[in-house]
C-alpha cells in the first residue's frame, strides 16, 4: 500500500500530474474505471485496503514503481490468470507508464468481474511530475 503520509503530503500540496480534473476516487461514488489525476490517485491509494496494481513489464517495475505496488504485466500471456489471484471485490488503483495499458487492464478487470478499479491518467510519469514517491 502507498505510504499514507506521502499521499497526504501530495494531497496537501494540491499537486496534479495531468490535465484531467480530479475525479471521485470511490467506485461506489463515481462508477467503475475512472481516470484519475495524480492528486485523485494519491487519495485513492491512501485508502485502507486499496490494491495498487502496476501493469507494466517487470523491467519497468524494477526501474521504479509506487510503494507496495503489485506487478502484473498486462501484456503477458498469463495476465488473466494472474489477476485471478486478486480479490475482485477490493478497490484497485491501476497504473502503467502513460495510461494506455492501464485502460486495457481496466477493461480486462471488468470482464473478470472486478467491481471497483480506477487508473492513473498520464501514468507513472504524471505521478512523478506531481512529486509522488517511487521506489526500486
> Which is the catalytic residue, given 38, 55, 83, 96?
96
Give the three cell numbers for residue 127: 505521478
Nearest to 119 by CA among 92, 85, 91, 94: 94
* Catalytic status, residue 96: yes
Please state, in angstroms and rounded to a whole number, the distance separating the CA atoms of residues 111 and 106.
Answer: 9
Output the CA angle 49-68-106, nearest 5 degrees: 65
Please state, in angstroms and rounded to a whole number, the distance separating the CA atoms of residues 100 and 56.
Answer: 10
CB atoms within 10 A of CB 39: 23
Give the three cell numbers for residue 120: 492513473
Which residue reads 489471484 in cell numbers?
A: 85
* Catalytic residue list: 96
Amino acid at each position: 500500500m502507498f505510504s499514507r503520509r506521502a499521499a497526504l503530503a501530495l494531497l496537501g500540496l494540491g499537486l496534479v500530474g495531468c490535465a484531467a480534473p480530479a475525479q471521485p476516487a470511490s467506485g461506489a461514488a463515481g462508477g467503475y474505471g475512472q481516470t484519475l489525476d495524480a492528486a485523485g490517485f494519491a487519495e485513492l491509494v491512501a485508502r485502507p485496503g486499496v490494491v495498487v496494481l502496476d501493469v507494466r513489464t517487470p523491467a519497468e517495475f524494477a526501474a521504479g514503481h509506487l510503494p507496495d505496488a503489485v506487478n502484473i504485466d498486462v501484456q503477458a500471456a498469463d495476465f488473466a490468470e494472474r489477476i485471478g489471484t486478486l480479490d475482485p471485490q477490493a478497490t484497485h488503483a491501476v497504473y502503467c507508464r502513460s495510461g494506455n495499458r492501464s485502460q486495457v487492464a481496466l477493461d480486462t478487470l471488468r470482464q473478470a468481474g472486478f467491481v471497483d478499479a480506477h487508473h492513473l491518467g498520464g501514468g507513472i510519469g504524471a505521478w512523478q511530475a506531481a512529486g509522488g514517491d517511487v521506489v526500486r
